[in-house]
Amino acid sequence: MDSSSDEEEVRTFIHAIGEKYNPENFPYGQGVVVLPSPPGSPIKDRLFLPSILVLNDCGISKAGDESDIAAFCAHVIELDLSHNQLNDWGEIGSIVSNIPHLDFLNLSMNPLSGMQLEPSMAEVFSRVRRLILINTHISWDNVNTLTHHTPELEELFLCLNGYNTVSESQTPCPSLRLLQITENQLEEWAEVRKFGLMYPRLGTLVLANNSVNSVEDSQEYLQHLFPNLRNINLNNSALTKWEDIERLNFFPKLEEVKAKGIPLLEPYSTQERRSLLLARLPSIVMLNGSVVSNGEREDAERFFIRYYQDCTHQELPERYHILVSKYGQLAPLAEVDLRPRCTMVDVRCGDRVEAVSLRLEQTVGDLKKQLRALLQLPTNGIRLFYIDREMSSVFGPEELKCGSRALHSYSIRDGDEILVVPKVKNRCSSSDL
């Protein structure tokens, strides 16, 4: 009885397929391949199997019968085995070796830290082009063994594996185009440098959420280190110097940069961050996920000149002199006061005169409400007349009749006068006020 319960605890790849892809789950059979059960198979009848198998979190720890795998998976091109219990490269190899057209393999969240991958076993991965090993804690020795035996590998994901160093492979992997190694503990540029040596055709390098604290090496060395790099993600890294940003210009094909959440940018506003980054990265076309237009680049470069133009000669960055040669010395931008404009006028009602501050964007109707409250006038109406003190002898008072008209349209200036005439006679005598 104990032995049978032990057997039930062992979940194989084949059993997981049988449970998930049985005909009852696919009553119409649309978009799937129907395969007969091979002789002697533990799977009854037939299965509806798509070319993309998703078997994540199925408790799989063993491969199962290899002949069943070969029979059922001849057409499979993508396989997701994440969140299972696979910890034996032999079992993984038994699955992969029987899927001849496998292009994509996800082994994330499987416990792969303790087992050594032998070169002979690694050869079964030779057709895989996209390999995901997130949070497996796979050793660098095993990573290097895999990349050595996957001549078509293009994308490799090594996030959340606890790496603080990189073990350099003696055999480069020239096919790799994308390396994502986010959420590790890499700090020194000396470790990042190894990726350029191991993956010479790397086009995308995602280093987000590491603690990389610098971009070192000379211009000549960096040009040869990452000759094909087009995209680098340094979000939430530990960069603190503008020189580190400027050295990114030495990568000859770099087009896209992400650099959010770095200590260097903390003192600046959101707009200052983008403008100062753009001005220092003249060749990129995407910054932090947004396309850079020609107009935005020019605005950023002009902002850069004005930002630094009051610094001493010793404090001026080298980029400043390059941009001044392009645009010339720029005059500081005029400060524009966007606060509502106010004008002081005298408001006369009978014998009473009050100095009142007018907001010229308000309407005649707004002013009437304001003056009724100020002068404690009745609510049954007043008439307003505008007196231009310079021109009153020529034009006389102008009645403010239209309640929806803005005051600024009357060209009211400081020192002019507003005359208040109640519609009820004698209601605004000095004795009443």
Task: Classify residue 336: in a domain, yes or no.
Answer: no
pLDDT for 380: 65
Domain boundary among 302, 326, 350: 326
Same domain as 362, residue 217? no
Task: Classify residue 231: in a domain, yes or no.
Answer: yes
Q: How many domains does the chain have?
A: 2
Same domain as 274, residue 406? no
Cα–Cα distance between 211 and 168 in angstroms, integer?
Answer: 19
pLDDT for 335: 57
pTM of the shown model = 0.74
Same domain as 374, residue 258? no
Same domain as 373, residue 263? no
Task: Classify residue 284: in a domain, yes or no.
Answer: yes
Domain boundary among 278, 298, 326: 326
Task: Classify residue 153: in a domain, yes or no.
Answer: yes
pLDDT for 423: 77
pLDDT for 410: 84
| CB-based contacts of 40, cutoff 8 Å, min separation 6 | none
Task: Classify residue 59: in a domain, yes or no.
Answer: yes
Q: Which strands sit side by side in the sheet containing 231-233, from one edge to the other? A: 52-54, 78-80, 104-106, 130-132, 155-157, 178-180, 204-206, 231-233, 256-258, 286-287, 290-291
Task: Classify residue 384: in a domain, yes or no.
Answer: yes
Which of 27, 93, 21 is closest to 51 using CA atoms? 21
Same domain as 404, residue 308? no
Same domain as 270, residue 176? yes
pLDDT for 27: 54
Q: What are residue 223's phi and psi, to 5 degrees? A: -60, -35
Which of 210, 298, 222 is closest to 254 using CA atoms? 222
Tell me the per-residue pLDDT of 105-125, one tens digit each, with 9 for 90 and over: 999 999 999 889 999 999 999
- Left (φ > 0), alpha (ψ -120 to 50) or beta: where does 193 sit? alpha
Cα–Cα distance between 307 and 399 in angstroms, integer?
Answer: 50
Same domain as 361, residue 317? no
Cα–Cα distance between 276 and 295 in angstroms, integer?
Answer: 15
Q: Report, as ranges of residue numbers, the positions in the chain whose pLDDT lies below 70.
A: 1-8, 23-48, 333-341, 378-380, 392-393, 424-433
Domain that holds residue 66: 2-326
Same domain as 362, residue 302? no
Task: Classify residue 60: in a domain, yes or no.
Answer: yes
Same domain as 260, residue 404? no
User: Alpha helices of 65-127 — where are they, by DSSP H?
Assistant: 66-72, 89-96, 119-122
